[in-house]
Homo-oligomer: A and B are copies of this chain.
Amino acid sequence: MGDIFDGTGCVWRDKYIAVDWGTTNRRAWLVDRNGTTVDRFADHLGLMTVSPGGFDKAAADIRLKLGDHPMLLAGMVGSDKGWRNVPYVPVPADLPSLAAAILWIDARTGIIPGICQTGSCPDVMRGEEMQALGALANGDAAPDALVCHPGTHAKWIRLQHSKITQFSTMMTGEIFSLIRDHSILAAQLADEVTDGASFEAGLQEACNGASLLSSLFAIRARKLLRQKPSANASFASGLLIGSDVHTGLSNARPGEMVAIIGRSDLSQLYASAIRKAGFDHKIIDGDKSFLSGIGSITQILEPQ
Protein backbone atom coordinates (compact mmCIF):
# COMPACT_ATOMS: atom_id res chain seq x y z
CA MET A 1 0.00 0.00 0.00
CA GLY A 2 1.02 3.57 -0.51
CA ASP A 3 3.04 5.08 -3.35
CA ILE A 4 1.03 3.41 -6.12
CA PHE A 5 -1.24 6.46 -6.18
CA ASP A 6 -0.26 10.03 -6.96
CA GLY A 7 -3.39 11.96 -6.02
CA THR A 8 -3.90 13.28 -9.52
CA GLY A 9 -6.95 11.17 -10.32
CA CYS A 10 -8.92 12.97 -7.67
CA VAL A 11 -11.08 16.11 -7.72
CA TRP A 12 -9.89 18.61 -5.08
CA ARG A 13 -11.72 21.67 -6.28
CA ASP A 14 -15.12 20.63 -4.99
CA LYS A 15 -14.59 19.97 -1.31
CA TYR A 16 -11.65 18.52 0.61
CA ILE A 17 -10.69 17.68 4.18
CA ALA A 18 -7.53 19.15 5.76
CA VAL A 19 -6.18 17.42 8.88
CA ASP A 20 -3.51 18.63 11.29
CA TRP A 21 -2.83 15.45 13.28
CA GLY A 22 -0.32 15.76 16.08
CA THR A 23 0.89 13.72 18.99
CA THR A 24 -1.83 14.77 21.41
CA ASN A 25 -4.49 16.47 19.28
CA ARG A 26 -6.26 16.13 15.97
CA ARG A 27 -7.95 18.95 14.08
CA ALA A 28 -9.86 18.62 10.85
CA TRP A 29 -11.56 21.08 8.51
CA LEU A 30 -13.93 20.61 5.60
CA VAL A 31 -13.11 23.26 2.98
CA ASP A 32 -15.31 24.17 0.00
CA ARG A 33 -14.39 25.35 -3.48
CA ASN A 34 -14.06 28.96 -2.30
CA GLY A 35 -11.56 28.02 0.39
CA THR A 36 -14.21 28.53 3.07
CA THR A 37 -14.36 26.23 6.07
CA VAL A 38 -17.85 24.71 6.05
CA ASP A 39 -17.37 22.20 8.87
CA ARG A 40 -14.67 21.32 11.37
CA PHE A 41 -13.88 19.46 14.53
CA ALA A 42 -11.03 19.03 16.98
CA ASP A 43 -10.47 16.24 19.48
CA HIS A 44 -7.76 14.73 21.64
CA LEU A 45 -7.30 11.63 19.49
CA GLY A 46 -3.64 12.38 18.81
CA LEU A 47 -1.17 9.70 17.71
CA MET A 48 -0.66 8.53 21.23
CA THR A 49 -4.26 7.33 21.49
CA VAL A 50 -4.22 5.36 18.23
CA SER A 51 -3.04 1.76 18.48
CA PRO A 52 -0.71 0.37 15.80
CA GLY A 53 -2.90 -0.64 12.88
CA GLY A 54 -5.68 1.65 14.08
CA PHE A 55 -5.03 4.57 11.75
CA ASP A 56 -7.19 3.37 8.87
CA LYS A 57 -10.22 3.34 11.12
CA ALA A 58 -9.24 6.59 12.86
CA ALA A 59 -8.98 8.30 9.47
CA ALA A 60 -12.25 6.77 8.27
CA ASP A 61 -13.88 8.31 11.36
CA ILE A 62 -12.81 11.73 10.10
CA ARG A 63 -14.78 11.12 6.88
CA LEU A 64 -17.76 9.87 8.89
CA LYS A 65 -17.80 13.25 10.63
CA LEU A 66 -17.01 15.57 7.71
CA GLY A 67 -18.17 13.64 4.67
CA ASP A 68 -16.59 11.35 2.09
CA HIS A 69 -14.17 13.82 0.52
CA PRO A 70 -10.51 13.79 -0.57
CA MET A 71 -8.23 14.31 2.41
CA LEU A 72 -4.75 15.74 3.01
CA LEU A 73 -3.04 15.21 6.36
CA ALA A 74 0.01 16.90 7.85
CA GLY A 75 1.94 16.82 11.11
CA MET A 76 3.24 13.96 13.24
CA VAL A 77 0.74 11.61 11.54
CA GLY A 78 3.53 11.22 8.98
CA SER A 79 6.16 10.22 11.55
CA ASP A 80 7.48 6.88 12.77
CA LYS A 81 4.79 7.03 15.46
CA GLY A 82 2.05 7.88 12.96
CA TRP A 83 0.03 6.32 10.17
CA ARG A 84 3.02 6.03 7.84
CA ASN A 85 6.60 7.21 8.25
CA VAL A 86 6.80 9.63 5.33
CA PRO A 87 10.39 10.48 4.32
CA TYR A 88 11.39 14.09 5.01
CA VAL A 89 11.88 16.55 2.17
CA PRO A 90 15.29 18.26 2.56
CA VAL A 91 15.69 22.05 2.58
CA PRO A 92 15.36 24.15 0.49
CA ALA A 93 11.68 23.17 0.51
CA ASP A 94 8.47 24.79 -0.70
CA LEU A 95 4.87 23.73 -1.24
CA PRO A 96 5.53 22.21 -4.69
CA SER A 97 8.36 20.05 -3.31
CA LEU A 98 6.14 18.92 -0.42
CA ALA A 99 3.24 18.20 -2.81
CA ALA A 100 5.51 16.08 -5.00
CA ALA A 101 6.56 13.98 -2.00
CA ILE A 102 3.10 13.27 -0.56
CA LEU A 103 2.66 9.67 0.51
CA TRP A 104 -0.66 8.46 -0.92
CA ILE A 105 -2.54 6.01 1.26
CA ASP A 106 -5.03 5.67 -1.58
CA ALA A 107 -6.02 7.83 -4.55
CA ARG A 108 -7.74 10.43 -2.37
CA THR A 109 -5.90 10.26 0.97
CA GLY A 110 -2.41 11.73 1.19
CA ILE A 111 0.08 12.47 3.99
CA ILE A 112 2.26 15.52 3.42
CA PRO A 113 5.90 15.03 4.49
CA GLY A 114 7.84 17.12 6.97
CA ILE A 115 11.18 18.65 6.11
CA CYS A 116 14.75 18.05 7.24
CA GLN A 117 18.10 19.68 7.31
CA THR A 118 21.22 17.54 7.17
CA GLY A 119 24.91 18.52 7.42
CA SER A 120 26.42 20.07 10.53
CA CYS A 121 23.07 21.26 11.96
CA PRO A 122 20.78 18.24 11.58
CA ASP A 123 17.15 19.12 12.26
CA VAL A 124 13.64 17.95 11.48
CA MET A 125 10.12 19.39 11.48
CA ARG A 126 6.61 18.03 10.83
CA GLY A 127 3.69 20.43 10.79
CA GLU A 128 5.20 23.86 11.41
CA GLU A 129 6.48 24.02 7.80
CA MET A 130 2.89 23.88 6.55
CA GLN A 131 1.99 26.94 8.63
CA ALA A 132 5.10 28.88 7.58
CA LEU A 133 4.64 28.08 3.88
CA GLY A 134 0.89 28.69 4.15
CA ALA A 135 1.51 32.13 5.66
CA LEU A 136 3.85 32.79 2.76
CA ALA A 137 1.21 31.59 0.25
CA ASN A 138 -1.49 33.92 1.57
CA GLY A 139 0.82 36.90 1.93
CA ASP A 140 0.91 37.03 5.74
CA ALA A 141 4.63 36.24 5.67
CA ALA A 142 7.11 37.81 3.26
CA PRO A 143 9.13 35.68 0.80
CA ASP A 144 12.24 36.26 2.94
CA ALA A 145 10.73 36.24 6.41
CA LEU A 146 12.12 34.92 9.68
CA VAL A 147 9.34 32.84 11.26
CA CYS A 148 9.26 31.99 14.95
CA HIS A 149 7.02 29.09 15.94
CA PRO A 150 6.81 28.79 19.77
CA GLY A 151 6.03 25.42 21.35
CA THR A 152 7.37 22.35 23.15
CA HIS A 153 10.00 22.26 20.44
CA ALA A 154 10.09 25.83 19.16
CA LYS A 155 11.13 26.36 15.54
CA TRP A 156 12.90 29.30 13.96
CA ILE A 157 12.38 29.11 10.21
CA ARG A 158 14.20 31.15 7.59
CA LEU A 159 12.26 31.77 4.39
CA GLN A 160 14.36 32.86 1.43
CA HIS A 161 13.02 33.45 -2.08
CA SER A 162 9.76 31.76 -0.99
CA LYS A 163 11.43 28.55 0.22
CA ILE A 164 12.37 27.28 3.65
CA THR A 165 16.16 27.32 3.45
CA GLN A 166 17.18 26.83 7.07
CA PHE A 167 15.58 26.14 10.43
CA SER A 168 16.47 25.43 14.01
CA THR A 169 14.59 23.65 16.80
CA MET A 170 14.84 24.81 20.41
CA MET A 171 13.75 22.46 23.21
CA THR A 172 12.49 25.48 25.16
CA GLY A 173 9.02 24.25 26.07
CA GLU A 174 10.17 20.76 26.95
CA ILE A 175 13.03 21.96 29.17
CA PHE A 176 10.60 24.29 30.94
CA SER A 177 8.21 21.37 31.56
CA LEU A 178 11.03 19.14 32.83
CA ILE A 179 12.13 21.79 35.30
CA ARG A 180 8.60 22.57 36.43
CA ASP A 181 7.57 18.93 36.81
CA HIS A 182 10.70 17.07 37.90
CA SER A 183 13.46 19.36 39.17
CA ILE A 184 14.42 20.51 42.65
CA LEU A 185 12.75 23.81 41.68
CA ALA A 186 9.35 22.20 41.00
CA ALA A 187 7.68 23.38 44.22
CA GLN A 188 8.70 26.98 43.47
CA LEU A 189 7.27 26.93 39.94
CA ALA A 190 3.55 26.63 40.62
CA ASP A 191 2.58 30.11 39.46
CA GLU A 192 0.99 30.68 36.08
CA VAL A 193 3.37 32.23 33.58
CA THR A 194 2.44 35.83 32.82
CA ASP A 195 4.15 38.65 30.97
CA GLY A 196 4.94 40.73 34.05
CA ALA A 197 7.96 41.94 36.00
CA SER A 198 9.29 38.44 36.77
CA PHE A 199 9.08 37.32 33.15
CA GLU A 200 10.88 40.49 32.14
CA ALA A 201 13.57 39.93 34.76
CA GLY A 202 14.17 36.48 33.24
CA LEU A 203 14.32 37.95 29.74
CA GLN A 204 16.74 40.60 30.91
CA GLU A 205 19.04 38.03 32.50
CA ALA A 206 19.03 35.88 29.36
CA CYS A 207 19.61 38.96 27.25
CA ASN A 208 22.67 39.80 29.36
CA GLY A 209 24.09 36.43 28.31
CA ALA A 210 23.67 34.75 31.70
CA SER A 211 24.00 30.98 31.76
CA LEU A 212 20.71 29.10 32.06
CA LEU A 213 22.49 26.51 34.22
CA SER A 214 23.31 29.09 36.87
CA SER A 215 20.40 31.52 36.55
CA LEU A 216 17.85 28.79 37.22
CA PHE A 217 19.49 27.89 40.54
CA ALA A 218 18.90 31.43 41.78
CA ILE A 219 15.24 30.43 42.14
CA ARG A 220 16.24 27.91 44.79
CA ALA A 221 18.72 30.25 46.44
CA ARG A 222 16.11 33.00 46.77
CA LYS A 223 13.78 30.58 48.52
CA LEU A 224 16.43 29.32 50.93
CA LEU A 225 17.51 32.88 51.65
CA ARG A 226 13.85 33.76 52.29
CA GLN A 227 13.92 36.58 49.80
CA LYS A 228 10.53 37.96 48.94
CA PRO A 229 8.47 35.51 46.90
CA SER A 230 8.69 36.02 43.19
CA ALA A 231 6.68 34.67 40.28
CA ASN A 232 9.32 32.02 39.69
CA ALA A 233 7.65 30.15 36.84
CA SER A 234 7.36 33.45 34.98
CA PHE A 235 11.02 34.17 35.73
CA ALA A 236 12.10 30.70 34.52
CA SER A 237 9.96 31.07 31.42
CA GLY A 238 11.56 34.46 30.78
CA LEU A 239 15.02 32.95 31.11
CA LEU A 240 14.24 30.13 28.69
CA ILE A 241 12.27 32.14 26.14
CA GLY A 242 14.84 34.93 26.39
CA SER A 243 17.63 32.47 25.64
CA ASP A 244 15.62 30.94 22.79
CA VAL A 245 14.87 34.33 21.24
CA HIS A 246 18.45 35.53 21.73
CA THR A 247 19.67 32.56 19.66
CA GLY A 248 16.82 32.73 17.15
CA LEU A 249 17.41 36.40 16.44
CA SER A 250 21.06 35.77 15.72
CA ASN A 251 19.76 34.82 12.26
CA ALA A 252 17.71 37.99 11.88
CA ARG A 253 18.66 40.80 9.56
CA PRO A 254 18.95 44.28 11.10
CA GLY A 255 15.49 45.76 11.50
CA GLU A 256 13.77 42.61 10.24
CA MET A 257 10.21 41.93 11.36
CA VAL A 258 9.72 38.50 12.91
CA ALA A 259 6.61 36.52 11.97
CA ILE A 260 5.26 34.62 14.99
CA ILE A 261 2.94 31.67 14.35
CA GLY A 262 1.71 29.56 17.26
CA ARG A 263 -0.43 29.17 20.35
CA SER A 264 -1.72 32.56 21.35
CA ASP A 265 -0.46 32.53 24.97
CA LEU A 266 3.04 31.54 23.90
CA SER A 267 2.97 33.90 20.94
CA GLN A 268 2.35 36.82 23.30
CA LEU A 269 5.32 35.83 25.49
CA TYR A 270 7.61 35.43 22.48
CA ALA A 271 6.34 38.74 21.08
CA SER A 272 7.32 40.41 24.33
CA ALA A 273 10.80 38.83 24.21
CA ILE A 274 11.33 39.78 20.57
CA ARG A 275 10.21 43.36 21.24
CA LYS A 276 12.57 43.63 24.21
CA ALA A 277 15.39 42.44 21.98
CA GLY A 278 14.72 45.38 19.70
CA PHE A 279 12.87 43.68 16.85
CA ASP A 280 9.39 44.21 15.47
CA HIS A 281 7.03 41.28 15.17
CA LYS A 282 3.77 40.27 13.57
CA ILE A 283 1.52 37.59 15.05
CA ILE A 284 0.03 35.35 12.38
CA ASP A 285 -2.93 33.02 12.82
CA GLY A 286 -1.76 29.40 12.75
CA ASP A 287 -5.00 27.78 11.58
CA LYS A 288 -5.43 30.25 8.74
CA SER A 289 -1.81 29.61 7.71
CA PHE A 290 -2.25 25.85 7.84
CA LEU A 291 -5.39 25.97 5.69
CA SER A 292 -3.70 28.29 3.20
CA GLY A 293 -0.86 25.80 2.89
CA ILE A 294 -3.16 22.82 2.35
CA GLY A 295 -5.32 24.81 -0.07
CA SER A 296 -2.25 25.76 -2.12
CA ILE A 297 -1.25 22.11 -2.29
CA THR A 298 -4.68 21.10 -3.63
CA GLN A 299 -4.18 23.68 -6.38
CA ILE A 300 -0.78 22.22 -7.20
CA LEU A 301 -2.34 18.74 -7.39
CA GLU A 302 -5.17 19.96 -9.59
CA PRO A 303 -4.22 23.14 -11.44
CA GLN A 304 -7.24 25.23 -12.37
Identical chains in the assembly: 2
Q: Decide yes or no whether A124 CB sits under 8 A from chain B.
A: yes
Q: Decide yes or no whether A179 CB sits under 8 A from chain B.
A: yes
Are A80 and B224 in contact, with the CB atoms below 8 A? yes
A88-B225, A116-B221, A225-B116 known; A214-B182 Cβ under 8 A: no
Query: How near does chain B come to A297, taking the closest CB pair, in angstroms?
Result: 23
Residues of B within 8 A of A88 (CB): 224-225
Residues of B within 8 A of A122 (CB): 218, 221-222, 225, 227
Residues of B within 8 A of A116 (CB): 221, 224-225
A182-B178, A182-B182 known; A172-B213 Cβ under 8 A: yes
Are B170 and A214 in contact, with the CB atoms below 8 A? yes
A178-B182, A225-B88, A225-B116 known; A213-B121 Cβ under 8 A: no
Residues of B within 8 A of A222 (CB): 122
Interface residues on A, range: 35 or more
* Selected interface stretch from A239-247, A271-279, A282-290: A239-247
| Supplied contacts A122-B227, A124-B225, A154-B213, 17 more A-B pairs, CB within 8 Å | A80-B224, A88-B225, A118-B225, A153-B217, A169-B214, A170-B213, A171-B214, A171-B217, A172-B213, A175-B175, A175-B183, A175-B213, A211-B246, A212-B212, A213-B243, A213-B247, A214-B247
Contacting A169 at CB < 8 Å: which of B79, B172, B221?
B221
Residue on B with the closest CB to A114?
B224
Residue on B with the closest CB to A90?
B225
Cα-based distance from A174 to B217 in the complex (angstroms): 11
Residues of B within 8 A of A80 (CB): 224
Interface residues of A in 149-170 (CB under 8 A from B): 153-154, 168-170
Q: Decide yes or no whether A220 CB sits under 8 A from chain B.
A: yes
Query: How near does chain B come to A114, taking the closest CB pair, in angstroms?
Result: 9
A213-B247, A247-B211 known; A124-B224 Cβ under 8 A: yes
Residue on B with the closest CB to A156?
B214
Residue on B with the closest CB to A213?
B170
Cα-based distance from A214 to B123 in the complex (angstroms): 9
